[in-house]
Structure 1
């Protein structure tokens, strides 16, 4: 996708779909809510078939959304990212120390009297993003290869650390602080399956598409001809996913507006603090705008697929924990699309990039 220079305005050279993306997102949310309210039993029907605990339509939408972005990644450049400690070390700290601790704090501050919602939010904070963050980073002209590496790193740590962190933040830490404790029953196998489906499949498809395409037709053809054809499907998948998400919970959201509002407040604070803090840290560390943007979005996003699946499996589909998990992406989608525009505006406050950036690289057009 093309992006204009700061001097001429971000929107000047965006495609029609990209330029009005915020409007499409809002329309998708409204359509989803309308469908959920207008068609009795639609949510139950959509949730009948699941993939790793996630509704099949949502799973398909996520896979369609992620594949084109991962097909754009230049995998031969990943080595430069894996050697960048200024990027990798802060990302690990933000995702696995700061993020869970911040969500735990906000959940207790905002929801001290609502233990089910509080537990659901803590689970959301533990599930670090491995899916939708890729498209937010791409829309904001973040470093595509850096985002791919950070997401892959998160997926590995998710398998290793999720259960242990769940035990710590729901049982151990509340016990130390004299607070109410909760339990979390999730196996490493369940987490691994979620990672393999929602990251492994589109990553393998994207990698094979690039390797086969470049081998048969060459890189110039691949990036000038094939990428523009498959690229729009990322946004089509995003909009489809948003419609299904809101349709699944349309009745619950509209029938419990006060509960949704209370869950939304700590989420809004979380996304704003994590994104702004990460972007500021990236700039302070001397990262260029594309890398700082990748750092910010991978730190602020959450793996709602895993959070929802864990909440449903542990507490039930009609539980408050599950509702909190579902509200997570419903707040995250409009907030992070807004932060995409903030990230594009923030480019003027960064120094010249250290390496070819998505704005200058034909592969990111």
Structure 2
């Protein structure tokens, strides 16, 4: 059995690192406009190649740890898959609908035209129902989850 070593400094301060990166990105966009303009040139079919490469670099090390033979055994313990399925397809879309409806049709009603709010609402529900694969892998890795269930 592996000894639990706790979480690292980076993992404990992940929220801070994300905030720093957001602020740095905004500052770069505001004060060095040539950086986003240059990055925009590296797109194919509206997909940013640098972002795609960085996401792949984030996911790849975790994919190496997946025992693909164990994926077929996921059905022997269906609790994790059942909870994930119910959460992703029965809870999240309706929760996201309620949250998005509040923001688009109540809080920001005077700022967003009704037709656009309808489109934003549809997009928010789709976004809420579809987990980001990259973040699923990262959070599963950080919590020492079973990679077979993550896949």
Please tell me the TM-score bracket, short chain as reference. 0.7 to 0.9
- Give the paired residue count: 139
Q: Does 1:142 align with 2:145?
A: yes
State the shift of 1:135 in Å: 0.8
Structure 2 residue aligned with 1:77: 70
Q: Deviations over 1:37-70 (max 9, x none)?
A: 1112533432333355331111111000000001
Q: CA RMSD in A?
A: 2.5
Aligned pair in 2 of structure 1 residues 48, 82: CA closer, same or farther (>3 Å)? Answer: farther
Q: Deviations over 1:210-253 (max 9, x none)?
A: xxxxxxxxxxxxxxxxxxxxxxxxxxxxxxxxxxxxxxxxxxxx
Contact 1:111 1:118 in 2 (8 A): yes
Aligned pair in 2 of structure 1 residues 23, 33: CA closer, same or farther (>3 Å)? Answer: same
Could you say which structure has the greater relative contact order, defined with CA pairs below 8 angstroms and 6 or more residues apart?
A: 1
SS where residue 133 of structure 2 aligns?
Answer: coil
Contact 1:137 1:143 in 2 (8 A): yes
Structure 2 residue aligned with 1:331: none
**Which runs of structure 2 are paired with 1:94-109 in the superposition (5 Å)?**
94-109=87-102
TM-score by length of 2: 0.75
State the shift of 1:99 in Å: 1.5
Aligned pair in 2 of structure 1 residues 121, 75: CA closer, same or farther (>3 Å)? Answer: same
- Structure 1 distance, partners of 2:11, 2:37, is 32
Contact 1:47 1:56 in 2 (8 A): no
State the shift of 1:137 in Å: 1.2
What stretches of structure 1 of length at least 5 have no aligned partner?
5-9, 149-365
Aligned pair in 2 of structure 1 residues 88, 51: CA closer, same or farther (>3 Å)? Answer: farther
Choose between structure 1 and 2: higher helix proportion. 1
Aligned pair in 2 of structure 1 residues 17, 109: CA closer, same or farther (>3 Å)? Answer: closer
- Structure 1 distance, partners of 2:128, 2:13, is 30
Aligned pair in 2 of structure 1 residues 118, 47: CA closer, same or farther (>3 Å)? Answer: farther
State the shift of 1:121 in Å: 2.0
- Structure 1 distance, partners of 2:76, 2:47, is 35
Aligned pair in 2 of structure 1 residues 101, 47: CA closer, same or farther (>3 Å)? Answer: farther
TM-score by length of 1: 0.34
Q: Does 1:133 align with 2:126?
A: no
State the shift of 1:128 in Å: 3.0
Aligned pair in 2 of structure 1 residues 100, 31: CA closer, same or farther (>3 Å)? Answer: same
SS where residue 132 of structure 2 aligns?
Answer: coil
Match of 1:65 among 46, 52, 58: 58
Contact 1:75 1:145 in 2 (8 A): yes
